[in-house]
């Protein structure tokens, strides 16, 4: 990635971090032009990290670069403050293009995501049940559907088991589902987990 950025920009300084805490410390130590953020990182979810980052530095441009598909995560990340969203499967040149766009004050949306958003607006269809979930509820939904236990989810999210159980109950109620099996089937059918 460093080589790609060096080829795309005249002069570039790159900082790296391995978790949310290191990211926030790095941003506090030096003035950066932009941040490239992964959704999946130790210490906090990408959504929570993005919200903390934008609360402290609202004008700092952030691109989310993720293995998660655009149609499932991009809108949530834009709502949390992202200025661009790319999947790791995108062409390498797209990252440079996206960075140039957000550094110029714009937002970056890939052509495929733009088309998806346009079709959704044109169809004016009702939102899918999972789109009514909060970011935390959505994260718990995906973790349950991927086979994690309530205890494992609590440890991953640094929350109590009771809190995760409460999120689970809210998810089932909001989505009109009865149990984890129905929840998992829903998530698999819609490609929320693989």
Reading the chain (194 residues) residue by residue, the pLDDT tens digits are 777 777 778 777 888 888 888 889 999 999 999 999 888 777 677 788 888 899 999 999 999 988 877 777 787 888 888 999 888 877 778 888 889 899 888 889 888 777 766 765 655 456 778 888 888 899 999 999 999 999 999 998 888 999 999 999 989 988 888 999 999 999 998 888 87
Q: Which domains does the chain have, with CATH numbers?
A: 2-123 (3.40.50.2300), 129-189 (1.10.10.10)
- Alpha-carbon distance of 109 to 129, in angstroms, equals 24
Cα–Cα distance, 95 to 5 (Å, whole number) = 8
| DSSP classification of residue 136 | H
> Looking at residue 61, what is its pLDDT?
93
If you write DSSP's letter for every residue of 21-63 in order, what string do you get? HHHHHHHHHS--S-EEE-SEETTEEHHHHHHHHHHH-TTS-EE
Residue 121: predicted pLDDT:
60
**Confidence at residue 150, expressed as pLDDT on a 0 to 100 scale:** 92
Strand partners, 65: 86
């Amino acid at each position: 990635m460093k080589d790609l950025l060096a080829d795309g920009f005249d002069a570039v300084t790159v900082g790296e971090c391995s978790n949310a805490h290191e990211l926030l410390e790095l941003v506090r130590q030096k003035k950066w032009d932009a941040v490239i953020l992964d959704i999946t990182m130790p210490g906090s979810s990408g959504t929570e990290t993005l919200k903390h980052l934008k609360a402290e530095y609202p004008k700092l441009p952030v691109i989310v670069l993720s293995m998660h598909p655009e149609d499932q995560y991009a809108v949530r990340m834009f709502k949390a403050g992202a200025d661009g969203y790319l999947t790791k499967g995108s062409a390498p040149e797209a990252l440079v293009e996206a960075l140039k766009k957000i550094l110029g004050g714009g937002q970056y949306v890939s052509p495929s995501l733009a088309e998806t958003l346009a079709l959704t607006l044109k169809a004016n269809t009702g939102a899918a049940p999972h789109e009514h979930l909060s970011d935390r509820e959505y994260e718990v939904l995906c973790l349950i559907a991927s086979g994690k236990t309530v205890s494992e989810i609590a440890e991953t999210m640094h929350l109590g088991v009771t809190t995760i159980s409460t999120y689970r109950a809210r998810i089932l109620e909001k989505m009109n589902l009865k149990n984890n099996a129905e929840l998992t089937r829903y998530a698999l059918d819609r490609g929320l987990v693989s």
